[in-house]
Structure 1
Amino acid sequence: MFETLKPQPADKILALMQMYREDPRADKIDLGVGVYKNAEGVTPVMRAIKAAEHKLWEEETTKAYTGLAGDPGYADVMIKLILGDSVARGNIAAAATPGGTGAVRQAFELIKMANPKARVFVSDPTWPNHISILKYVGIETVTYRYFDRETRGVNFDGMIEDLKGAEKGDVVLLHGCCHNPTGANLNTTQWQEVIDLLNARGLIPMIDIAYQGFGDGLEEDAAGVRMVAAQTPECLIAASCSKNFGIYRERTGLLMAVSQDGSAQALNQGTLAFLNRQNFSFPPDHGARLVTMILNDEALRADWASELEEVRLGMLGLRQQLADELQRLSGSDRFGFIAQHRGMFSLLGTTPELVEKMRVDNGIYMVGDSRMNIAGLNKTTVPLLAKAIIDAGV
């Protein structure tokens, strides 16, 4: 049997990580891996997580399974965090998943179950795993224009024009905030225009929100998601706690199915539980338990929100420092988009050849499409990156 297996394509980011580890240069810079790092290059355990873990260690009395959809209390606090009061709780089905990736996979499985002929429209570019999973699940994928390589902003006219080619029942995958890999986001007016188009054409929105709190703030980053959930007949939302709670290895995610028809909630909830059972049975609980404890405890929540804000402002500061240094070196404002982007990532919009040149000449490691992780920088390395960008002729 095994002899029939074929080698799978290597993961480019994992390969880049290996190259970085093997590079002996002391001044090398890792901007490839999509993980938040502080100025010391460490992904820290947040203070509130540490406190909650200590409390859990003292209070937990069992490691028995939770329900197929996870602890309902976790779903409640996450729904409140992401959707606020935009949708009645009784209109939302939700299930815990192994990370945001698990939520995305379950959403695709649900789409295929509900409408095998549905196509999923994804932004060009998008998180590569979106397309990889869609291909594996066997769902037709269509790209829509999103990133303008001239302005490094959103090509909104192109996006709308391409989405007009979607047919009733097709799914449109949107990034809730901090678009990965570009860092370019829709504004409120654009969100509303997208919603109007979705409703006019009978399209189903699916939102992947993995960076709430990393962009403009917890409430601000959820604004577009709340608009979609409140104004469309139904939608899917895949959420991750990896970044904003710093619990990457705990694999803590949530999939929500929202319907304005409250009578659909029971069927949707049963379907989400069924999909969990087929794929992994019971979802992991440790990370979900910590998130629930933090969001339900006034002091822990305040400390978590404060530290998250420190992270957000730190990344914005690095963005501004890099944009300023590039302006100083280039004598132009053509890199101003870096300060305007939000979240961990920005797409420089340059060629794979120049990305490779920066790696060879300066030890700058970024993904070949020129996505760079701003959180991989600190105040000392920003000038090194700026000089490498200018020297490479970006």
Structure 2
Amino acid sequence: MLSNLKAQPADKILALMAMYREDPRPTKIDLGVGVYKNAQGVTPVMRAVKAAERRLVEEQTSKAYVGLAGDPAYSDAMISLILSDAVSRDRIAAAATPGGTGAVRQAFELIRNTNPNAKVWVSNPTWPNHVSILNYLNIQNTTYRYFDSETRGVDFDGMLEDLSEASAGDVVLLHGCCHNPTGANLNLTQWQTVIDLLNEKGLIPMIDIAYQGFGDGLEEDAAATRLVTSSVPECLIAASCSKNFGVYRERTGLFMAISEKADNTAVTQGNLNHLNRQNFSFPPDHGARVVTTILTDDALRADWASELEDTRLSMLGLREQLASELQRLSGSDRFGFLAQHRGMFSQLGTTPDLVEKLRADYGIYMVSDSRLNIAGLNATTVPILANAIVESGI
């Protein structure tokens, strides 16, 4: 049996990480992997997370299974964080998942189970794993225009034109905030136009929200998701705690499915439970328990929100420093988009050849589509990157 296996294509980001580790140059810069790092190049454990973990160690009396959907208190806390009161709670089914990726996978499986003929529309570009999982599950998918490589902003007219071709029952995958990989986001007026199109065409939105608090703030980053969910009959949401709580390795995610009517929620919840049972039985609990402890304790929540805001402002400062340095070196404002983008990522909008030139000549590692992780920079490496970009002719 095993001799019949075929080699799978290497994950581009993981391959990039391996190349970075093997590069002996002391000035090398890793802008590829999507993990937040502080100025010392460390992904820190947040203060509130440490405090919550200490409390759990002292107070937890069992490691028994919690339930197929995880701890209901975790679902309640996350629904409140993301949706506030945008949707009546009795319309929302929710299940804990192994990270945001697990939530995405469960959402795609639910789509396939309920409407095998549905096509999933994803932005061009999008997080590569979206398309990889869709293809693995043999779900029809296609792209809609999103990023304009000339302006480095959203190609909104192209987006609307493409989505106007979608059929009723199709699913439109949207990034709730801090678009990955581009960093370019819709404004609320544009979101409303998209909502109008969704309702007119009978399309179902699926929102992937993995960076709440990394863009313009916790409430601001949730505004689009709340607007969508309060304006459409049904919606799927895949949420991640990896970034804003820094619990990457704890694999802490949540899948939410919002029904048009509350009397359908119990059946929907049963299906979410069933999906969990088939894929991994009971979801991880430690990260979820930490997040719940933080969100339900006023002091811990305030400390977490404060540290998260410091993280957000740090990334924003790096964006502004990089844009300013590039303007100084190039004598042009063509890189001003970097200060306007939000979240961990921006896309330079250049060619794979020039990205490879940055790696080969300057030891600067980023994904071939020119996505760079802003959080991989610090005040010292920003000028190095800016100089390399200008000298490379990007």
TM-score normalised by the chain length of structure 1: 1.00
Alignment of 1:204-353 (within 5 A): 204-353=204-353
Identity of aligned residues (%): 76
Amino acid at match of 1:159: M
CA-to-aligned-CA distance 1:39-61 (integer Å, 9 cap, x gap): 00000000000000001000000
Q: CA deviation at 1:276?
A: 0.2
Misfit runs of 4+, over 4 Å: none
Give the Cα separation in 1 of the matches to 2:112 and 2:126.
20
Name the counterpart of 1:111: 111
Name the counterpart of 1:79: 79
Give the Cα separation in 2 of the matches to 1:131 and 1:320.
32
Alignment of 1:33-112 (within 5 A): 33-112=33-112
Give the Cα separation in 2 of the matches to 1:5 and 1:251.
28
Give the Cα separation in 2 of the matches to 1:40 and 1:345.
19
My pick for the range that moved more, 371-380 or 253-262, is 253-262
Name the counterpart of 1:191: 191
Q: How many residues align?
A: 394
Q: What's the secondary structure of 1:173's corresponding residue?
A: strand
Amino acid at match of 2:68: L
Amino acid at match of 2:321: Q
2:166 corresponds to 1:150:
no
Q: CA deviation at 1:352?
A: 0.5
Name the counterpart of 2:170: 170
Give the Cα separation in 2 of the matches to 1:233 and 1:388.
49
Name the counterpart of 2:23: 23
Give the Cα separation in 2 of the matches to 1:147 and 1:336.
16
Structure 1 gaps, min length 5: none
Q: What's the secondary structure of 1:100's corresponding residue?
A: helix
Amino acid at match of 1:333: D
Give the Cα separation in 2 of the matches to 1:112 and 1:72.
26
CA-to-aligned-CA distance 1:124-155 (integer Å, 9 cap, x gap): 00000000000001101110000001100000
Give the Cα separation in 2 of the matches to 1:12 and 1:280.
26
Name the counterpart of 2:368: 368
Name the counterpart of 2:4: 4
Give the Cα separation in 2 of the matches to 1:216 and 1:260.
30
CA-to-aligned-CA distance 1:227-255 (integer Å, 9 cap, x gap): 11111000000000000000000000000
Amino acid at match of 1:3: S
Give the Cα separation in 2 of the matches to 1:260 and 1:340.
36
Amino acid at match of 1:170: D
Q: CA deviation at 1:259?
A: 1.7
Give the Cα separation in 1 of the matches to 2:260 and 2:90.
9
Q: CA deviation at 1:3?
A: 1.5
Give the Cα separation in 1 of the matches to 2:9 and 2:166.
30
Q: CA deviation at 1:5?
A: 1.0
Amino acid at match of 1:141: N
Q: CA deviation at 1:260?
A: 2.8
Q: CA deviation at 1:330?
A: 0.4
Give the aligned CA root-mean-square deviation in angstroms.
0.4
Name the counterpart of 1:120: 120
